């Protein structure tokens, strides 16, 4: 973030969140959780941060156990698929381009 933007935010007493929106650093469960609760809270306004946090917690606690189970089953399946794809890339000695780096894999057969 630029120095000018930082100064503006400080002047407005705006606190930055720990993670930017849609950050790849967020746990996948955060995406499910935030999307689920965001849809419920979308049009609501709160009198304070504390009230907003309390309402958020209430909605999280109302998520049914079966919904959490479905989410994690889906998550594990996606991880499994991603691992299979990565293993195939590594085995075929392919080059893949990341948003920042170029990787060349030369993995011997085991």
- Give the Cα separation of 61 and 103 in Å (integer): 43
Q: Report yes or no: 15 and 49 within 8 Å, Cβ to Cβ.
A: no
For residue 43, give its domain range: 24-63
Q: Do 93 and 83 reside in the same domain of the chain?
A: yes
Q: Do the domain assignments include residue 59?
A: yes
- For the chain, how many structural domains are there in total? 2
Q: Do the domain assignments include residue 7?
A: no
Q: Do the domain assignments include residue 48?
A: yes
Q: Report yes or no: 46 and 55 within 8 Å, Cβ to Cβ.
A: yes
- Give the Cα separation of 38 and 22 in Å (integer): 13
Taking only the tens place, the pLDDT of each residue in 4-29 is: 877 887 887 776 655 555 555 556 66
Helix, strand or coil for residue 95?
strand
Taking only the tens place, the pLDDT of each residue in 75-110 is: 788 778 777 877 776 666 554 545 444 444 444 554
- Give the Cα separation of 6 and 38 in Å (integer): 27
Closest CA to 79 of 71, 68, 90, 91: 71
Helix, strand or coil for residue 44?
coil
Global pTM exceeds 0.85: no
Q: Do 108 and 68 reside in the same domain of the chain?
A: yes
Q: Do the domain assignments include residue 72?
A: yes
Q: Do the domain assignments include residue 78?
A: yes
Neighbours of 19 (CB within 10 A): 12
Q: Do 38 and 53 reside in the same domain of the chain?
A: yes
């Amino acid at each position: 973030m630029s120095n000018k933007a930082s100064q503006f935010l400080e002047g407005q007493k705006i606190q930055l969140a720990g993670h930017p929106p849609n950050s790849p650093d967020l746990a996948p469960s955060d995406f499910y959780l935030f999307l689920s609760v965001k849809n419920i809270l979308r049009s609501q306004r709160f009198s304070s941060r504390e009230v907003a946090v309390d309402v958020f917690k209430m909605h999280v606690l109302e998520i049914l156990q079966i919904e959490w189970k479905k989410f994690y089953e889906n998550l594990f399946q996606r991880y499994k698929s991603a691992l299979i794809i990565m293993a195939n890339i590594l085995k075929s000695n392919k080059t893949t381009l990341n948003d920042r780096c170029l990787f060349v894999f030369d993995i011997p057969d085991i």
